[in-house]
Amino acid sequence: MSSLTTVLIGLVSIVLLGGLAAGASVLARRHRPIVDGMHALRDNHARNPVARPLRAGCASLEIGVWLDAESRLQVGSDRRNRDPGNAVGPLVLRELALRAATYGGRVRPDQAKSFMLMIDILETEPTAQAQAYQALDRALRAYPGLFTRVVDGALRSGPVTVALIGGGTPRHAVAAHQDRRVFCDGSFGDVGAWGTPVELVPIVSEHWSWRFGWDGIDDVPLQERVLLRQLVDAAHRDGRQVRMFGIPERPVKVREAYWREISAARVDVISTAHPRRLARFLSDATTVVPAAPRARDAVEPEVRVRVGSAR
């Protein structure tokens, strides 16, 4: 190879590397700052379910998956769509891995905590749910170092943490793995001395209407405010995060009333279909959160808190 050819190759390499660096710089500028606790609800119609939530600054997102005839996990809810490109590996995991490689072990340049990927297995039969989990485990193992792991009870943090959500979670199959890259979303029944180990269930979730009757109009009843804060405090004492979903998206005043109340209760993860609006709300210095209930108000709430499993 001539010296001139060598020089030309070197110049082309510099230009290409410069272009990649410039592209990464532009991408970083287009990203909004990460907002801890902001969770993107599932978008079954998104061509790229990862890009939009990350650009909006979400700290977590969720996808739905189902098992096709070739034992591949397809992303979305349309079982007629059997495009191999929609498998969870090419569509989601590879995207996260490329970002982690680009940003030195982070999926975002400003990432400080592990990004959470919540996966809802949409299968209804227990056997299919277990098979879907096995397929997911195989897919995750194709990206060593990317996902948080538990090995013989020891936690090894990674850029991305995967948690199964919804009724399709085969918890017993997950718990049986001694080397696993998947965690489970739980409920307040998992909290307490007799609850599920936090190494298996690090986050508990609840739909607002499952326990509370407040509709976002007028003031929240004192008993419900006290109950919410006691539940959150109990989960935090366990070392678990709390996620609330089922918050109305309309009208705006009602939605923000919910956001204000659950933020004041120190709920860790707020689910929304409007992440940019939630980000603006949480960053607004004029947002006023309700004061904590006074001690004498919280002594005898009408609704008592009961946490821990009944087993």
C-alpha to C-alpha distance for 159 and 192, rounded to whole angstroms: 28
pTM of this prediction?
0.81
Residue 82 has what pLDDT? 64
Q: 31-73 pLDDT, tens per residue?
A: 678 888 899 998 877 788 899 899 999 999 999 999 988 888 9
Least confident interval from 24-28, 156-160, 215-219, 288-292: 24-28
Q: 118-156 pLDDT, tens per residue?
A: 999 999 999 999 999 999 999 999 999 999 999 988 899
Please give the single-letter amino acid code of residue 241. Answer: Q
Residue 296 has what pLDDT? 43
Q: Does pLDDT of 284 surpass 70?
A: yes
Q: Under a CB-based contact definition with an 8 Å cutoff, are residues 244 and 205 in contact? A: yes
